[in-house]
A and B are shown apart, each in its own frame.
Chain A
Amino acid sequence: NAGVTQTPKFQVLKTGQSMTLQCAQDMNHNSMYWYRQDPGMGLRLIYYSASEGTTDKGEVPNGYNVSRLNKREFSLRLESAAPSQTSVYFCASSINRYSNQPQHFGDGTRLSIL
């Protein structure tokens, strides 16, 4: 049982390049989330998707776009990467936003922008 799978695991970009981080879950969850983790700041929510076909901004959405491709997949796109976006990115999913069930996390994508 894979759970939440993120690709790639590592990536180095140059300033101004674009890329898409992929996330897929096989738990039939309705809600999916993208976080970034920076030293000393915990995790901060970038975007989330309460259900297929909907997306909403989180705490730090600037510089990012998302696509909920289907129930399984939720991608995060950096259109023009900036050094401030160097971080570890985590995707998570949950049954739905209203349940008393926890969010399940992937292993993260470590992104460096030079």
Chain B
Amino acid sequence: SQELEQSPQSLIVQEGKNLTINCTSSKTLYGLYWYKQKYGEGLIFLMMLQKGGEEKSHEKITAKLDEKKQQSSLHITASQPSHAGIYLCGAEPAGGTSYGKLTFGQGTILTVHP
């Protein structure tokens, strides 16, 4: 089965610092989704990447998918306390009949100190 490995597992940064979270797959991906979760709440969709080499940005968050479609990174520029939470990557493997059956990484807990 496909596995997604996120790193780091947790991250503590000072407000204003840049940071990167990585998500690595053991298989080629059909689609890669980034979500943010605040404690006690559901998952909020951030971005979806599908093409090798694709990069998307929203406000201060940029996500990239490598050319081989096996690794994605999420970069936050000039972090703010509002960025704190758990970031999860979810993915569908390429091929087969697994459409819609997302596998998730274990999550990265981000703390931003004012």
The residue of chain B having its C-beta at the shortest distance from the C-beta of A9 within the complex is: B40
How many angstroms between the C-alpha atoms of A98 and B101 in the bound complex?
10
Residues of B29-67 at the interface with A, using a CB-CB cut-off of 8 Å, are 31, 33, 35, 40-45, 48, 50
Q: How large is the interface on A (under 10, 10 to 19, 20 to 34, 35 or more residues)?
A: 20 to 34
Interface centre among B33, B35, B88, B100 (most CB of A within 10 A): B100
Contacts of A59 in B (CB 8 A): 1, 103
Binary CB contact string for chain A from 85 to 107 against chain B (1 if under 8 A, 0 otherwise): 00000101010111010111111
The yes or no answer to A19 lying at the interface (CB within 8 A) is: no
Are the CB atoms of B106 and A58 closer together than 8 Å?
no
How many angstroms between the C-alpha atoms of A41 and B106 in the bound complex?
5
Partner of B50, one of A40, A90, A100: A100
The yes or no answer to B11 lying at the interface (CB within 8 A) is: no
Contacts of B93 in A (CB 8 A): none
Are the CB atoms of A42 and B31 closer together than 8 Å?
no
Are the CB atoms of A105 and B42 closer together than 8 Å?
yes
How many angstroms between the C-alpha atoms of A33 and B100 in the bound complex?
9
A42-B104, A44-B104, A106-B42 as given contacts; A98 in contact with B99, CB under 8 Å? yes
Q: Which residues from chain B sit less than 8 Å from chain A, CB to CB?
A: 1, 4, 9, 31, 33, 35, 40-45, 48, 50, 88, 90, 99-107
Task: Jot down 17 A-B pairs with beta carbons below 8 A, ordered by A.
Answer: A40-B106, A43-B43, A43-B102, A45-B103, A48-B100, A58-B101, A59-B1, A59-B103, A90-B43, A92-B43, A97-B100, A98-B99, A100-B31, A100-B50, A102-B33, A103-B45, A108-B40
